[in-house]
Structure 1
């Protein structure tokens, strides 16, 4: 191989400077082209790069990481394109191991994934958000550190820009790359992915990803999780809990307006089902965590809010993406 293009989509977070400094300090045994895709709104100030960083800055469209990565690889000069997120820290030998991962990879290999390390607290149990981040270390083909042949990206059309979040877009691309006849491998290079500080409502905001899951269900059918190597979720339980809550509220309103005892009995039964489902979800999230007051209160509140948010975003996506087809297919 003659060299590698490293593509980093960024929102200009402070972690970018640490990433660029780590890349600059790592010996590179092969030519490297560094491409930063600034995915902030156009009105944002220019990126402030650390001294001595030789990088080409490209303008994204503030349309999410999938679109930003497409901008990056399409401007790349080398056959191999390595994608890094702007909040990871490569090991000092990252370039050397990247070269070893890619050099000699036979033509059927279209992508090589790096290893991900997520440091967790040593003296206490991790929080729910820390566990969610730590799960990335076991993820398949995640683009926190993933290298693809440019020819594989060209053959498949790259990332699906209908997936606007850092959620499922890497798994969906990997599926199409393999379906096109390429192989994917795991390499030996390693990056560290620190847990990003977040507020206590982050788990509720991330439910927007259910709209993306609805798109994938439209694209790949009822077995889409198996097709894309995505673990089972809780959407069925969320739907049951949300339905019970809605039934309880509706029946209680009916009982208040009509004074029918039957409606009040239905409301009580549905409320009990909602409470049991919410409690089961909360306990499942509290039990492995630190169990301090803040975490317990956060888990109780968000466990009540997540089911209806998940169902609502799924329905929104299901309606929006009716008739959607995978990239490269025609109606």
Structure 2
């Protein structure tokens, strides 16, 4: 039996996903679809196509994020395999057939990842946001389309609900599944993940994920990126640029308050050097984001402004996450905060 779990906020993209599943779910042995409605407000019932009605159960989430919603879904599922899909993907026409083939694996394989295609504009270079979304195609063990053996989820304890965003919670679970002795492999089924429209502030909002990175650092030590199969990040450079900017600002203020003399000159030197470091670091970051993009006036302006704001914002979120993580025992085995969870 195969259970499909979809946490959702009721976005318009859900309709496209359900339409794609409507013609395929009946091809899965003992199929069931569990929609976890994680909206915080009462926005009415989710619209389920008639072809899916016999297979579908709608669960009400707590508005606590995708990790909690997925836990609710898989714990209510009856299948030996639980397939997690995001509500903004569109399965290929042969997705169900290939899923069955993907799950014909050895007994110690605990998870099989699907393949993700992110369509990008053919007539121009992709924007910063589009390139970021395209990175999902190379992501490891992401729950855009990830099937887990139920026994593996039980052994690992499910998703850690201290990760409230759609960020790192899937990689962290995959790490614990492997530590529990299961193998993870890539399959051949495929879904399309369109780039959804976003505001110009999206890169600033995503910096909140640095707080989750701080928790991972606390849990798994300095090699957490390597252990969780995550690419290197820019946080050390962001911290250096943010520090340089802060030093330049403080030195400039103190210099303005000082009387003429050697101390005032020294503060001027510090402000100049630190300010130059901030300017060089910010310019390098902006160039790295602008060069591969479409270089339209709007995109360039957005990159210039956000490249100046991201380093301090990322650092603040990291420090906030680090502070909260101090109460977590280093190296602790994380389990979901739900009845019956455990490793």
Residue aligning to 1:156: 156
Structure 1 contact 218–323 (Cα < 8 Å) conserved: no
Unaligned runs of 5+ in 1: none
Q: What does 1:1-331 correspond to in 2, within 5 Å?
A: 3-26=1-24, 28-54=27-53, 55-103=56-104, 105-259=105-259, 260-324=264-328, 325-327=332-334
Structure 1 contact 128–289 (Cα < 8 Å) conserved: yes
SS at match of 1:196: coil
What is the distance in 2 between the residues matched to 1:207 and 1:46? Answer: 32
- Please give the per-residue CA displacement for 1:232-278, whole angstroms capped at 9, x wherever unaligned: 00111001100010011101100111142221221121111100000
SS at match of 1:56: strand
Cα RMSD over matched residues? 1.4
What is the distance in 2 between the residues matched to 1:162 and 1:44? Answer: 26
What is the distance in 2 between the residues matched to 1:18 and 1:187? Answer: 23
- Please give the per-residue CA displacement for 1:52-102, whole angstroms capped at 9, x wherever unaligned: 332110011100000000000000011100000000000011010001111
Following superposition, the deviation at residue 157 of structure 1 comes to: 0.5
Following superposition, the deviation at residue 42 of structure 1 comes to: 4.9
SS at match of 1:198: coil
Structure 1 contact 218–321 (Cα < 8 Å) conserved: yes
Following superposition, the deviation at residue 28 of structure 1 comes to: 1.3
Following superposition, the deviation at residue 10 of structure 1 comes to: 0.2
SS at match of 2:58: strand
- Please give the per-residue CA displacement for 1:202-241, whole angstroms capped at 9, x wherever unaligned: 0010000000000000000010001101110011100110
* Alignment length (residue pairs): 327
Structure 1 contact 127–295 (Cα < 8 Å) conserved: yes
Structure 1 contact 9–86 (Cα < 8 Å) conserved: yes
What is the distance in 2 between the residues matched to 1:253 and 1:284? Answer: 31
What is the distance in 1 between the residues matched to 2:284 and 2:229? Answer: 26
Unaligned runs of 5+ in 2: 336-340
Give the structure-1-normalised TM-score. Answer: 0.96
Structure 2 contact 114–146 (Cα < 8 Å) conserved: yes
What is the distance in 2 between the residues matched to 1:110 and 1:89? Answer: 24
What is the distance in 2 between the residues matched to 1:36 and 1:51? Answer: 15
What is the distance in 2 between the residues matched to 1:276 and 1:29? Answer: 56
What is the distance in 2 between the residues matched to 1:197 and 1:66? Answer: 23
Following superposition, the deviation at residue 29 of structure 1 comes to: 4.3
What is the distance in 2 between the residues matched to 1:52 and 1:94? Answer: 17
Give the structure-2-normalised TM-score. Answer: 0.93
